[in-house]
Amino acid sequence: MSGKRKAALGFIFVTLLIDVMGFGVIIPILPQLIGGMVHGGNGTSALYGGLLMFAFAGMQFLFSPVIGNLSDQYGRRPVLLFSLMGFCIDYLILALAPTIGWLFVGRILAGITGASFTTASAYIADISTPEKRAQNFGMIGVAFGVGFILGPLIGGYVGYFFGTRAPFYFSAGLTFLNMVYGYFILPESLDKEHRRKFDWKRANPAGALKSLKRYPALSGFMICLFCLFVAGHATQSTWIYFTAERFHWGPNMIGLSLGLVGLLVAIVQGGLVRVINPWLGVKKSIVYGLLIYMLGNILFAFANREWMMFVFMIPYCLGGFANPAMQAATANQVPANEQGELQGAITSLQSLSSIAGPLLMTNLFYFFTNKTPGSVYFPGVPFLAASVLIVAGLFFVRKGFTKLGASNPEFAAEQTVTEEIVAAE
């Protein structure tokens, strides 16, 4: 990779790091904030937390293809800066919100403008050679991991010492600094000769996904990604409520646990990915990674001691080496002037999963923690649901590789191994 490309990758890494830190800061205090507004317990707070994610994801589902297509016409840089401005305003609204309704207003605004990871993924695809994309996509995981080391730790302590609103102001400040940094430092990654005109027919969720049908192998990968996105909400949507319910963790302990998750993710994405993925190849990286990820979810479901949660983070996070391999497998199938559209379609899928995922996982959590006569008490059931979805994802990714092998013989050699592993599962 040339020096210019390395510098650009460094810029996008710092941009995403600050972005993730801004989001991570507010996580530990959400149960207390929501609970104080709705005057309910962990189950009720989880339901409202799921609805807030639903509002954010619904807007992202509708607007991510628009943002992705705009970045294909106007470039990644201005779209990314616009996204960060929207997040900054969102955090200020959340900081000042007098009622739960205003929390929804902020999340809706953030969903409309938020496309930082969509645009960042397209940016990385722009500056990466095909053989380096899996490693470079791993930098997103590193930013996510490091941001989740610092963000929740800071949020837990800021919330503890300065009140539940203080982390929102802190996040607004971080995001503003991020936007200023990007304005002065971040270069444009998409050359004008690789741009294409905005097309409303392709700038909507259905149009974006339909336009990708001309790449037959993508369907299996996209369905697998959807299953994984929904499965991820077992942790994303219920971790703070699950640990508060089962272990009575407060903001400090929640922040510490998420910080450790972030550290492990950073180690996997920043170090192990660069060793494991080239050694195993794309296909085996995806299959083995998903199997380990499934094991981590099953272990979380049955954890009944605090120390178990920390030990079981290891297989859960280790399975993350499948993620950059999945991103590389999809990005390598489309040309440069459609990377924004592809990432917009993936973000739409992720947003659709963030509509279904929080509702599914928080309702499962509520149902199995609602201590009514005759009910079954099992707070870990969302993690079991995630394991089932991962198995479904393995089935669909096998179909994707089958189609890819038929059109690209270089993948055929490894196909038998993938089929045997998935069939055994």
Other CB atoms closer than 10 Å to residue 10's CB: what's the count?
A: 12
Rounded CA-CA distance 85/66 in Å is 17
Instruction: Give the rounded distance of the alpha carbon of 16 from its chain centre.
Output: 12
Residue 418 has pLDDT above 60, yes or no: no
Comparing CA positions, the residue from 12, 17, 387 lying closest to residue 235 is: 387
Sign of CA pseudo-dihedral 395, 396, 397, 403: positive
At what angle are helices 42-74 and 30-38 packed, to 10 degrees? 120
Rounded CA-CA distance 45/253 in Å is 18
Tokens of 180: 């200023």
Q: Give the model's confidence band at 415: pLDDT under 50 very low, under 70 low, under 90 confident, else very high.
A: very low
Residue 311 has a pLDDT of: 95
Sign of CA pseudo-dihedral 45, 48, 52, 58: positive
- Geometric angle at alpha carbon 360, from 399 and 89, rounded to 5°: 100
Q: What is the mean pLDDT of residues 250-264?
A: 80
Residue 264 has pLDDT above 80, yes or no: yes
Tokens of 288: 């083995």
Radius of gyration of the CA atoms of the chain, in A: 20
Residue 321 has a pLDDT of: 84
Rounded CA-CA distance 180/174 in Å is 10
Q: Give the model's confidence band at 330: pLDDT under 50 very low, under 70 low, under 90 confident, else very high.
A: confident
Rounded CA-CA distance 339/350 in Å is 16
Query: pLDDT tens digits for 182-237?
Result: 788 777 777 777 777 777 766 666 666 666 666 767 778 888 888 998 998 888 88
Q: What percent of the chain has pLDDT over 70?
A: 80
Q: Give the model's confidence band at 422: pLDDT under 50 very low, under 70 low, under 90 confident, else very high.
A: very low
pTM score, whole prediction: 0.66
Q: What is the mean pLDDT of residues 23-33?
A: 72
Q: Rounded to 10 degrees, what is the CA torsion of 64, 68, 74, 77?
A: 80
